[in-house]
């Protein structure tokens, strides 16, 4: 069996989308599978779903797949549909990030020109804000290192506490529980 043609790939993508929509609606795996099976006898709606589960078996006039095989196919479709949507979102985010970068470049050019030519302090501040925004957008800033310390800058003491001790501490610090 070779790679499906364009129409079959579109039908498979539609099946995966339908499987995901059903799962998001709270439908159980077996019900999803029985709605999307190719065999008329096994399909809960009594229709031959295009490129449905077990399509090859249906074409060969074999028995439909087992419930376990159908559930496995539905799970696989939902996983693939989610992966496809994540990939689409990542592409959209990359496009939006590039668009925002272009906008910042245009704004920066205007503010920078005014800051240098006129030595305008407001334009200098605006230029710096655009640079800060670009650095955040592109992840250029170094991560901030945070360190916790105990009393007088010493190490934090970690101790085991009982539930009663924790409840007393909560009562001391939270006026709603006292």
The 8-class DSSP code of residue 66 comes to P
**53 φ, ψ (degrees, to nearest 5):** -60, 135
Give pLDDT, residue 1. 55
Answer whether residue 163 shows pLDDT above 90. no
Please tell me the predicted confidence (pLDDT) of residue 177: 55
Q: pLDDT (tens digit, 9 = 90+) per residue, 33-66?
A: 989 998 877 888 877 787 888 888 888 888 888 8
CA distance 32 to 38: 12
At 90, list the tokens: 């990542």
* CA atoms of 107 and 97, how far apart (whole Å): 15
* Residue 119 reports pLDDT greater than 70: yes
Asked whether residue 176 carries a pLDDT value surpassing 70, the answer given is no
Distance CA 178, CA 175 (A): 5
């Amino acid at each position: 069996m070779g790679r499906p043609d364009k129409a079959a790939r579109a039908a498979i993508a539609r099946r995966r989308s339908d499987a995901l929509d059903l799962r998001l609606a709270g439908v159980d795996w077996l019900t999803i599978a029985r709605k999307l099976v190719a065999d008329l006898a096994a399909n809960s709606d009594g229709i031959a779903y295009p490129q449905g589960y077990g399509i090859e078996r249906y074409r060969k006039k074999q028995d439909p797949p087992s419930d376990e095989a159908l559930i496995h196919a539905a799970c696989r479709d939902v996983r693939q549909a989610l992966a496809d949507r994540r990939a689409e979102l990542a592409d959209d985010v990359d496009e939006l990030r590039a668009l925002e970068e272009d906008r910042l470049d245009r704004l920066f050019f205007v503010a920078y020109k005014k800051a240098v030519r006129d030595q305008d302090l407001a334009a200098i501040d605006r230029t710096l804000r655009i640079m800060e925004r670009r650095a955040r957008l592109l992840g250029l800033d170094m991560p901030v290192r945070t360190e916790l310390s105990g009393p007088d800058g010493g190490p934090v003491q970690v101790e085991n506490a009982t539930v009663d001790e924790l409840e007393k501490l909560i009562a001391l610090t939270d006026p709603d529980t006292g």
